Structure 1
């Protein structure tokens, strides 16, 4: 399952915890990600993944987002990954909870 592959890779690369779902007692800084769509063509899978970088300030969230983007791009070294493309990234502060976050969307092709 590609989500597990991504999480395990990021666990070894990021300076903050990485989660697939929000924790009830989340730390101040963390990464949350999910697969938002996927497809399969000629036995090759691809998906769009949303990565959210949470931090205690806008600056820290933006800095964490940059660290995350570099780590994601380094995933190309994995045998399971054949292509990584940054779709977009932007400020995605949660106005309901008042938590600063950035979101980066990546299109990832994998086996």
Structure 2
């Protein structure tokens, strides 16, 4: 029997994800179109990524920003393994919507 651990949401937790189980993901979402209005041009991760640019605005110090960026990179890696979607350098709201859709449905598991 699989051991399942549900994690809390947030950038501090996503680094704990071992794999994403999409077996209970509603496949109808693949047939949906999403329209996003966003003025954000930053990629998800990296020097100009969301954690480095917006983290300090939300009170994150340098250590927290580094941890958040590492966790976001790990999260994007795990999503890419399952979906083939490379979120790392996408700009605007697109990567956040895709990350949120993936984040809200499957169960998160660790060894």
Which structure exhibits the higher relative contact order, with contacts defined as CA atoms closer than 8 Å and separated by 6 or more residues? 2
Pairwise same-fold verdict (TM > 0.5): no
TM-score, normalised by the number of residues in structure 1: 0.30
Tell me which protein shows more helix as a share of its residues. Answer: 2
